[in-house]
Amino acid sequence: MNQTITCFLPVGEQNETRNTIKELKSSKLVSEIFVVGDASFEMEGVTCLSTKSLFSGETIHKIAAKSTGNFSLIYTKTSALKLGQFALNRFVQVATDTQASLTYSDSKVIKNGQVENHPVIDYQEGSLRDDFDFGSLLFIDSKALKKAMISIDITNQYAALYSLRLALSEQSELIRIPEYLYTEEELDTRKSGEKIFDYVDPKNRDVQIEMETVCTEYLKQSGGYLEPKFTDVDFKSEYFKQEASVIIPVLNRVKTLEDAIKSVLSQKSEFEFNLIIVDNHSTDGTTELIQKYANQDKRIIHLIPERTDLGIGGCWNEAVHHESCGRFAIQLDSDDLYADETTIQQIIESFHKEKCAMVVGSYQMVNFKLEEIPPGLIDHKEWTPENGRNNALRINGLGAPRAFYTPILRETPLPNVNYGEDYALGLAISRKYQIGRIYKSLYLCRRWDENSDASLSIEKMNAHNTYKDRIRTIELKARRNLNRS
213 inside domain: no
Q: Do 349 and 466 belong to one domain?
A: yes
Q: Do 279 and 145 belong to one domain?
A: no
pLDDT range class, residue 192, cuts 50, 70, 90: very low
H-helix or E-strand containing 426? Answer: helix 421-430
How many Å apart are CA 102 and CA 168, to the nearest integer? 7
pLDDT range class, residue 448, cuts 50, 70, 90: confident
pLDDT range class, residue 360, cuts 50, 70, 90: very high
The range of the structural domain enclosing residue 14 comes to 5-189
CATH of the domain at 331: 3.90.550.10
How many Å apart are CA 178 and CA 186, to the nearest integer? 19
Q: Do 425 and 305 belong to one domain?
A: yes
Q: Do 42 and 157 belong to one domain?
A: yes
From 149, 164, 189, the end of a domain falls on 189
Q: Is the pLDDT of residue 195 over 60?
A: no
Q: Is the dihedral of CA 141, 142, 148, 154 positive or negative?
A: positive
In sequence order, the β-bridge partners of residue 372 are 366
Q: Is the pLDDT of residue 202 over 60?
A: no
238 inside domain: no
Residues 6+ apart with CB under 8 A from 183: 81, 82, 84, 107, 108, 109, 110, 115
pLDDT tens, position by position, 329-343: 999 999 999 999 999
Q: Is the pLDDT of residue 189 over 60?
A: no
pLDDT score at 159: 96
pLDDT tens, position by position, 26-48: 999 999 999 998 767 888 889 99
How far from 178 is each of 80, 106, 119, 134, 168, CA to CA, in Å?
A: 22, 6, 7, 12, 20
260 inside domain: yes
Q: Do 181 and 249 belong to one domain?
A: no
Number of domains composing the chain: 2
* β-bridge pairing 102-111 and 30-36: unpaired
H-helix or E-strand containing 94? Answer: helix 87-98
pLDDT tens, position by position, 174-188: 999 999 999 998 765
From 189, 208, 225, the end of a domain falls on 189
224 inside domain: no
Q: Do 171 and 86 belong to one domain?
A: yes
Which of 453 and 429 is assigned the larger pLDDT? 429
Q: What is the CA radius of gyration of the chain?
A: 25
Q: Give the rounded percent of residues in the chain with a pLDDT score beyond 90.
A: 84
Q: Do 365 and 468 belong to one domain?
A: yes
pLDDT score at 190: 45
pLDDT range class, residue 50, cuts 50, 70, 90: confident
What does the pLDDT average to over 447-452? 66
pLDDT score at 452: 54
Residues 6+ apart with CB under 8 A from 420: 464, 467, 468, 471
Query: What is the overall mean pLDDT for the chain?
Result: 93
175 inside domain: yes
pLDDT range class, residue 71, cuts 50, 70, 90: very high
pTM to 2 decimals? 0.91
Q: Is the dihedral of CA 370, 373, 377, 382 positive or negative?
A: negative
Q: Do 143 and 289 belong to one domain?
A: no
Q: Is the pLDDT of residue 199 over 80?
A: no
Q: Do 62 and 172 belong to one domain?
A: yes
How far from 424 is each of 228, 396, 427, CA to CA, in Å?
A: 20, 11, 5
71 inside domain: yes
309 inside domain: yes
287 inside domain: yes
pLDDT score at 198: 54
pLDDT tens, position by position, 321-332: 999 999 999 999
pLDDT score at 166: 98
Q: Do 334 and 473 belong to one domain?
A: yes
How many Å apart are CA 44 and CA 18, to the nearest integer? 10
